[in-house]
Amino acid sequence: MRIEVFADIVCPFTHVGLRRLRDARAQRHGTTPIAVHAWPLEFVNGEPVDGRVVAHEIAALRASVAPELFTGFDAAPWPGTSIPAFGLVANGYARDDATGEALSFAVRDALFEEGLDVADVDVLRHIGAPYGVAPMSQAAAETAARRDFERGRNRLVLGSPHFFVGDRDWFCPGLNITAQGDTYDVELAADTMQEFYDTAFA
Tell me the per-residue pLDDT of 32-77, one tens digit each, with 9 for 90 and over.
999 999 999 999 999 999 999 999 999 999 999 999 999 999 888 8
Question: CA 62, CA 72: separation in Å to the nearest integer?
Answer: 12
Contacts of 38 by beta carbon, 8 Å cutoff, 6+ apart: 6, 8, 82, 86, 89, 90, 144, 145, 148, 149, 152
DSSP letter assigned to residue 47: S
Find the CATH number of the domain harbouring 67: 3.40.30.10
Q: Angle, to 10 degrees, between the axis of helix 121-128 and the axis of helix 97-112?
A: 130
Question: In degrees rounded to 5, what are phi and psi of residue 134?
Answer: -105, 155
Beta-carbon contacts of residue 58 (< 8 Å; ≥ 6 apart): 12, 70, 73, 112
The confidence score (pLDDT) of residue 76 equals 87
Dist CA 125 CA 34 (whole Å): 23
- Per the structure, the count of domains in the chain is 1
146-190 pLDDT per residue, tens? 999 999 999 999 999 999 999 999 999 999 999 887 788 999 899
Please check the confidence at residue 90 and state whether its pLDDT lies above 90.
yes
Q: What confidence score (pLDDT) does residue 29 get?
A: 94
Mean pLDDT of all residues belonging to the chain: 96
Q: What is the pLDDT of residue 184?
A: 87
- Where in the sequence is the domain holding 171, given as residue range(s)? 3-200
Return d(Cα 27, Cα 152) in angstroms, integer: 29
Nearest to 11 by CA among 24, 88, 93, 48: 48
3-7 and 34-38 beta bridge pairing: parallel
Size of the chain, expressed as the number of residues it contains: 202
Distance of CA 41 to the CA centre of its chain: 11
In a 10 Å sphere around its CB, with 0-12 CB exposed, 13-18 middle and 19+ buried, how is residue 76 labelled? exposed
Give me the DSSP letters along 69-102: S-TT--STT--S-SHHHHHHHHHHHHH-HHHHHH
Q: How far is the first Cα of the chain from the last one, in angstroms, to the nearest whole number? A: 10
> What would the pLDDT profile of 109-143 be if each residue is shown by its tens digit?
999 999 999 999 999 999 999 999 999 999 999 99
pTM, two decimal places: 0.95
